[in-house]
Structure 1
Amino acid sequence: MVGDTHDTLTVNQEDPLTPIHGPEIFIGLVGPSGTDLDLLSSHLSKTLKNFDYKCHVITVSDIIKELRKFSNIPDKPEDARITKLIKAGTEIKETVGRGDILALLSIAKIRELRFAQLGEEKPYKPLSKVAYIFRSLKNPQEVQTLREIYGRPFYLISAYSPRDKRVENLTKRIADSHNSSSLTKYREAAENITVTDELEEGKKHGQNVSGAFPIADFFVNVSRINDVKNQVERIIKILFGFPFETPQKDEMGMYLAWSSSLRSSDLSRQVGAVIMSDDGEVLSTGCNDVPKFGGGQYWPDDTNDERDFQKGSDSNAIYKNRIIKEIVDLLYNEGAFDKKFGSSADNVASRILGPTGRSIFGGAQVFNLIEFGRAVHAEMAAITNAVRRGVSLQNSILYCTTFPCHNG
């Protein structure tokens, strides 16, 4: 019964009306540096084997090293290996202008695997009872491309581990690769890698695990080592249509946080948050948007709606533009700009704030300023909504659809 439920996901190429028995499954893994993806990948392979599936792990770093220019990336020391792989991956993406190029190269690897098994058969023909694990995806574009190409049989799993534990694990791996027992000596290297991996500043197609992580279908806490096996088995049961696996509290919390984000009309992005008690009761919700006079947040049918979209402008964007124009004006008057950049300070500023300038300076910290916006953080909205109603948040858990902002 389990297999029959999942069989409907893939079409038979020779007879489109007949489902394939044991269709291919595609699983992408997302995990910040220092997360134990070895453990997760191993349990996935073992569990799928119990369902009579053969697993192929497609390691993206190996694909990078297959390219001649990057074939000499060393296996040790660990900090040099990771740093050079990050730089290589970003260089490849920036060169071709596609953030999903490594995902496309991974798809080519699947075609090779199919061809090896089918011989002269067409390499796009799906194999029966085969699973492919992409290890690991580093930005949302890769995820989007894989979802568009494979559709429902593609699933994204994000591996979670607390930041301090990730840095600790990475520090130990780096120290071991240097044959050293001094963790203090290599902690800075681990911290730098962790920051770059989460979001590579100034690169349009750089590392962006922070963007890929929250869009997963499933989340696994790999810091609970003894429980990873159970978490993976539960996920695979869900994939195969087991009817009695209902949402856990964390999953329900994230779902409710996402649904809360739909209430936001913020002009930049929509963020949702929900606060739940230990036993899973909803205590409060919130989203990033302009707060309502008198408390709470606006609903569409409220009178005197003062949200930004009603005013037609974002105060934060206006102030950021003013800051940039002020800096340009000061530098221009001091002769810091060549006349070829513009005949006036306003002209130079317009170029910087236009599409061409943003493609160059888009990663600059000034473009990340959010201090001048009228909207409150989703987390703040959820907390103040609870306080306004006299709801205690002691021993509660807050779920949010994105990582905390720098001024959160």
Structure 2
Amino acid sequence: MKNKKFVSELFLENGQFILVGLTGRTGSGCTTTANILEDEKTIFPDVSKLQGFYKGLDVHRYNIVKNFTENHWENFYSIKVSDLISVYLLTLTVEEASEFIFSSKNSISKQHLDLVLTGGVFSDNLLSKKFKNVIEHLLNHDSDLKLDVKTINKVISILKLVRKFTKQFKAELNEINSNLYVSAYQLAGKSIRRRGCIEVDFETNDFIPKSVFHLPETINRVIKLIRKNKRDKALIVIDAIRNPYEAKFFKDRYSAFHLISINAPDEHRTNYLRKLHKFSSDQIEEIDAVESGKGDNSYKHLTNPNVTKCIELSDIHIFNPKNEFDNDNILKAQLAWYVALMKHPGLITPTAMERVMQVAYTVKLNSGCISRQVGAVVTDDDNSIKAVGWNDVANGQIPCSMRSLDGLMYDFDEKIYSHYERNNSSFRNQAKGKLLTFRMIDSAGDVYRGRNLSYCFKDIHNSLDKDKKGNQVHTRALHAEENAFLQLAKYGGVGIQGGKLYTTASPCELCAKKAYQLGMSEIIFIDPYPGIAQDHIINIGSKSPELVQFRGAIGKSYHRLYEQVIPIKDELDYLLE
């Protein structure tokens, strides 16, 4: 018995507290995932029901994790970000809420909206009347969070009522316009990140930097209450994280945090939104544009949703085909896989796809690009690695991260700065203006002291060449995939025909053509890069490579999930003794 207790205590920390954040594009299945994790009696499918999703050794791996998860299942507590946005909304009057929601979509009738809010669930506003002090206390981050039983029970009661409110309010808004709920709550998120509350004219008011973390701090206060209520043993899922700084907030605070991206094929996702939610193609494009971080407001990179970046930051990627809307078997199977590993690290070994993508994820850190680091790996058809690459300048040149505006202006080092950069007056004036802006903003030298003020040559050059803005020809760097391909030419490659290309992004049009020409059978990617590589380059001809979205754990989670706490042999021996 002592040995069994010893073994259980070794794994106790993993099972005591698990925090999962979900991210993904609208319609990908984040809410479905949260509902599965929240279910007290989730049943995981047999491998025969997965349509060949797992093959080879992965079949045996799945059977092991399925058996473990079913025997150790504990449901998660779901914190829905939409519910907390509802809490912020419920601090407004009916008139204020109507004006704010109207500003999110001016194509609707203000009179109709007023009637719906006045006669609907919002007008009751019982939550803010009955629990006004508790709500204000929860949203006031300057006050200490009371962890007494009375406060905890009140907040949990509020959140249960808010969930019912959100569901009914969503239905009422969508009766006015099919995507009014999405656009209104997206706008509310922007307002909270900019001002720490919901305001009609938030975009014209001053940006309050600490507001970027206001929503995640509110979530964090709820997490603390739940942990206290459950005496520190808590499995919690956040549905869903849409801003990368919110993801970073939890990554920095909790070692037990895993950011999981739910990825559905675009065709499946858009069909789902059209058929079940009656969204038009224009409405889907509008939602995707907002979620990709686009927008013309100031501080948009801080305040706007950016699901693309959240997917890039994710620790675990789950593939969710939605060609059969009610069939969640493949989604459930992957959840069984990773919940088992969260509770018992090292229970199984990584898949071949995870092993190779982890290499690509690791080598991307060598990149000297100051915009985005990308890694790539080329393998044969059996996933044996033949070449690696990352986006960077040619061998012998100095990466962008190691050059500076000061050096460009004053050093004139011909080995670091090109003849064009040292002599073209238009380019130098543009670069000098950028340097002066840095100095003007930071006249005291407090912010940029000791920092290398590196710059992107392509950005400066394309800002001068208005007709060719974004032209990839002007970049100094080779793409990661291109670099990996060139290693094959430089050192020789064997057995590449029919091989695979792994990339932490996905290939652009130029690299897609090279992959096609090399005879790659598969291109495994994490998140699609904007462009027409798939529709124009890859899906044509008789030998086109198959595009496969990566599924699995990478980065910190790869080690946290697959490294054994103690060797399995020792664990079993302790249990036997």
TM-score > 0.5 by shorter chain: yes
Whether 1:58 and 2:88 are equivalent positions in the alignment is no
Counterpart for residue 105 of structure 1: 218
**How has the CA–CA distance of structure 1 residues 278 and 221 changed in structure 2, closer, same or farther, with 3 Å as cutoff?**
farther
Residues 196-207 of structure 1 correspond to what in structure 2 (within 5 A)? 196-202=290-296, 203-205=300-302, 206-207=304-305
Q: Distance in 2 between matches of 1:247 and 1:287?
A: 23
The residue aligned with 1:218 is 316
For residue 375 of structure 1, the aligned residue among 467, 473, 477 is 477
Give the match for residue 347 of structure 2. Answer: 244
Distance in 2 (alpha carbons) for counterparts of 1:272 and 1:348: 29
Match of 1:83 in 2: 183
CA offset at residue 387 of structure 1?
Answer: 4.8
Instruction: Within 5 Å, give how 1:109-124 maps onto structure 2.
Output: 109-114=222-227, 117=229
Q: Given residue 183 of structure 2, which amino acid in structure 1 is its aligned partner?
A: T
Deviation at 1:399, TM superposition (A): 2.5
C-alpha spacing 1:152/1:27, structure 2 compared with 1 (3 Å): same
* Separation of aligned partners in 2, 1:189 and 1:266: 35
Q: How does 1:137-216 map to 2 (within 5 A)?
A: 137-149=241-253, 151-175=254-278, 186-202=280-296, 203-205=300-302, 206-216=304-314
Any gaps of 5 or more consecutive residues in structure 1? 10-21, 119-125, 177-185, 293-304, 327-345, 357-362
Provide, for residues 311-351 of structure 1, a one-character-per-residue CA deviation record: whole Å limited to 9, x for no partner: 835889x79x957967xxxxxxxxxxxxxxxxxxx879954
Alpha-carbon spacing, 1:190–1:324, altered in 2? closer, same or farther (3 Å): farther
For 1:212 and 1:158, locate their aligned partners in 2 and report how far apart those are by CA, in whole Å: 8
Q: What is the aligned partner in structure 2 of residue 44 from structure 1?
A: 37
Matched position secondary structure for 2:219: helix
* Partner amino acid, structure 1, of 2:301: K
Whichever residue aligns with residue 308 of structure 1, its letter is: P
Q: Which residue of 2 aligns with 1:273?
A: 376
Q: Deviation string for 1:345-373 (max 9, x for gaps)?
A: x87995499759xxxxxx99959947322
Contact 1:99 1:139 in 2 (8 A): no
Shift of 1:223: 1.4
Matched-pair identity in %: 22
Q: 1:53 to 1:214 in 2, by over 3 A?
A: same
Of 24, 28, 32, the residue aligned with 1:31 is 24
Residues 25 and 350 from structure 1, CA distance in 2 versus in 1: closer, same or farther, beyond 3 angstroms?
A: same
> Which among 227, 232, 241 is matched to residue 127 of structure 1?
232
CA distance in 2, matches of 1:348, 1:217: 35
| TM alignment of 1:281-360, pairs within 5 A | 281-292=384-395, 305-308=396-399, 312-313=403-404, 350-351=436-437
Q: Distance in 2 between matches of 1:62 and 1:256?
A: 39
CA distances 1:114-144 after superposition (whole Å, capped 9, x unpaired): 56x47xxxxxxx532x211101111221122
Contact 1:260 1:287 survives alignment (8 Å): yes
Please tell me whether the aligned partners of residues 23 and 242 of structure 2 are also in contact (alpha carbons under 8 angstroms): yes
RMSD of the TM alignment (CA)?
A: 3.9
Letter in 2 for 1:109: V
Q: Secondary structure at the match of 2:301?
A: coil
List per-residue Cα deviations over 1:284-321 (Å, max 9, x = no partner): 211011123xxxxxxxxxxxx223359835889x79x9
The change in CA–CA distance for 1:53 and 1:281 in structure 2 (over 3 A counts) is same
* TM-score, length basis structure 2: 0.51
Count of aligned pairs: 341
CA spacing shift, 1:99–1:310, aligned 2, 3 Å: closer
Shift of 1:26: 0.9
From the superposition, tell whether residues 145 and 192 of structure 1 become closer, same or farther in structure 2 (CA, over 3 Å): same
Structure 2: stretches of 5+ with no match in the other structure: 43-68, 102-168, 196-207, 323-327, 406-416, 443-458, 506-526, 534-577
Aligned with 1:262: secondary structure? helix
Residue identity opposite 2:223 in structure 1: I
Q: Which moved more, 1:64-73 or 1:81-90?
A: 64-73
Structure 2 vs 1, CA of residues 147 and 313 (structure 1 numbering), >3 Å: closer, same or farther? Answer: closer
> Judging changes above 3 Å, is the alpha-carbon distance between structure 1 residues 268 and 197 closer, same or farther for their aligned structure 2 residues?
closer
Partner secondary structure for residue 230 of structure 1:
helix
Pairing partner for 1:262 from 365, 369, 377: 365
Contact 1:324-1:349 within 8 A present in 2 as well: no
After superposition, the Cα gap between the structure-2 partners of 1:88 and 1:280, relative to the gap in structure 1 and judged at 3 Å, is same
Among 12, 25, 33, the alignment partner of 1:7 is 12
Amino acid at match of 1:91: S
How far is the alpha carbon of 1:216 from its aligned partner?
2.1
Contact 1:28/1:135, CA 8 A, preserved across alignment: yes
Distance 1:104 1:395, change over 3 A: farther
Shift in CA distance, 405/36, structure 1 to aligned 2, threshold 3 Å:
closer
Match of 1:337 in 2: none
* CA spacing shift, 1:370–1:253, aligned 2, 3 Å: farther
